[in-house]
């Protein structure tokens, strides 16, 4: 990524300030792409357009094999990583990926954090000592907030939360997910991230998707203050569309009414089911249930059955790409994410 002269000068002025990492987390279909697009309007912020998702894999690899300090070991790491979804969806027109250049960007730091920082800096062109802020947007890291804070002492985490009912609508419409399992996972993962972020308020900030849509300037000013960066009005609109699915697909403006769609897209019994499975976390985040008045848990059997159902739907949805390639993609994702 080339840096214009003006941006380079701007970056140089801030070379001594915080330069990352910035982690944007949240459940899928909850506004992480929108937030990344808005934050990237700041001239110092660099975030890959593809979700990495493989940081937990790097941690496990280093634990098992040790730091890949020698070129041969680094090449072995790359061979183990190159089947990750990141590389499967990396644009064909992008420059060829060079593990040797990635290694140079690690600057001699070959622990999991150094490997990841080097990777993101290499892919985004956010070279060290330029004042550019490097970061990542991977919803899957909502389950790994503690690890991010542990491995990256200077990390700042932005957790975006969407109303579980609209989240379930989007998951069903976009990915054919079962709304019961979606609601259960929302309740579990959002609550965990909320508690961890609440215990590290100096390093984490939380915002609601609905608040971002209603008052983008207010929320982006708030984020700018948290990140210690200058706010500009450019950070309230997208340079290009980031969404290809749903109501906001193809839009560059913040779509203020893309909320509370569940009232017209879910039946009352479905709303009740969602609220019942996410009731505790809705209370925690100040979302008001319309029908439910208590929490219900999914049994282990129910959860397994719904997981199988979702997996079958994913494979069928990707059938036009080929059954084998669909299985390969989802197997490789499970290998690096979990």
Q: What percent of the chain has pLDDT over 70?
A: 89
Work out the average pLDDT over 5-11: 43
Q: Do 32 and 26 form a contact (C-beta atoms < 8 A)? A: yes
Distance CA 166, CA 278 (A): 13
Strand extents, DSSP E, the chain: 22-25, 45-46, 133-137, 156-161, 204-208
Distance CA 196, CA 204 (A): 9
Lay out the sheet containing 156-161: strands in order across. Answer: 45-46, 133-137, 22-25, 156-161, 204-208
Question: pLDDT tens digit string along 72-87?
Answer: 999 999 999 998 999 9
Distance CA 152, CA 170 (A): 32
Question: pLDDT tens digit string along 103-156?
Answer: 999 999 999 999 999 999 999 999 999 999 999 999 999 999 999 999 999 999
Domain enclosing residue 285, as ranges: 5-337
Q: Which distant-in-sequence residues (6+ apart) come within 8 Å of 337 by Cβ?
A: 53, 54, 56, 57, 140
Question: pLDDT tens digit string along 308-325?
Answer: 998 888 777 665 555 555
Distance CA 182, CA 171 (A): 7
Q: State the pTM of this model.
A: 0.90
pLDDT of 44 higher than 70? yes
Q: What percent of the chain has pLDDT over 90?
A: 76
Distance CA 184, CA 180 (A): 6
Q: Do 166 and 174 form a contact (C-beta atoms < 8 A)? A: no
CATH number at residue 78: 3.40.50.300
pLDDT of 185 higher than 60? yes
Q: Is 127 exposed, middle or buried (0-12, 13-18, 19+ CB in 10 A)?
A: middle
Distance CA 66, CA 251 (A): 45
pLDDT of 244 higher than 60? yes
Q: Do 44 and 14 form a contact (C-beta atoms < 8 A)? A: yes
Total number of domains in the chain: 1
pLDDT tier at 101, thresholds 50, 70, 90? very high
Distance CA 46, CA 21 (A): 10
Strand extents, DSSP E, 203-263: 204-208
Q: Which distant-in-sequence residues (6+ apart) come within 8 Å of 230 by Cβ?
A: 42, 224
Least confident window among 187-191, 200-204, 329-333 = 329-333
pLDDT of residue 321: 54
pLDDT of 271 higher than 90? yes
Work out the average pLDDT over 86-90: 92
pLDDT of 5 higher than 50? no
**Mean of pLDDT over the chain:** 90
């Amino acid at each position: 990524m080339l840096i214009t002269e003006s941006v380079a000068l701007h970056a140089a002025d801030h070379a001594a300030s915080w330069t990352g990492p910035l982690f944007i987390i949240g459940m899928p279909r909850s506004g992480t792409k929108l937030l990344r697009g808005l934050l990237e309007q700041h001239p110092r912020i660099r975030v890959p357009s593809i979700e990495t998702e493989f940081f937990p894999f790097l941690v496990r690899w280093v634990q098992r094999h040790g730091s890949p300090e020698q070129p041969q070991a680094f090449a072995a790491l790359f061979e183990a990583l190159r089947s990750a979804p990141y590389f499967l969806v990396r644009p064909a027109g992008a420059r060829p990926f060079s593990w040797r250049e990635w290694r140079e960007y690690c600057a001699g730091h070959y622990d999991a954090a150094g490997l990841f920082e080097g990777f993101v800096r290499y892919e985004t062109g956010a070279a060290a000592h330029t004042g550019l802020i490097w970061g990542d947007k991977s919803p899957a890291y909502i389950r790994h907030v503690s690890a991010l804070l542990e491995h990256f002492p200077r990390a700042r985490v932005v957790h975006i939360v969407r109303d579980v009912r609209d989240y379930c609508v989007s998951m069903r419409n976009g990915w054919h997910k079962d709304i019961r399992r979606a609601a259960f996972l929302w309740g579990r993962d959002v609550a965990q991230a909320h508690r961890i972020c609440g215990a590290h308020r100096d390093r984490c900030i939380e915002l609601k998707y609905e608040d971002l849509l209603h008052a983008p300037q207010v929320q982006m000013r708030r984020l700018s203050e948290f990140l210690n960066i200058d706010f500009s009005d450019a950070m309230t609109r997208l340079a290009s569309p980031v969404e290809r699915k749903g109501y906001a697909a193809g839009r560059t403006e913040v779509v203020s009414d893309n909320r509370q769609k569940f009232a017209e897209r879910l039946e009352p019994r479905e709303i009740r089911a969602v609220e019942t499975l996410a009731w505790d976390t809705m209370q925690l985040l100040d979302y008001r249930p319309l029908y439910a008045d208590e929490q219900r848990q999914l049994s282990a059997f129910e959860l397994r059955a719904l997981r199988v159902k979702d997996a079958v739907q994913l494979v069928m949805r990707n059938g036009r790409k080929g059954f084998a390639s669909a299985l390969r993609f989802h197997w490789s994702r499970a290998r690096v994410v979990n």
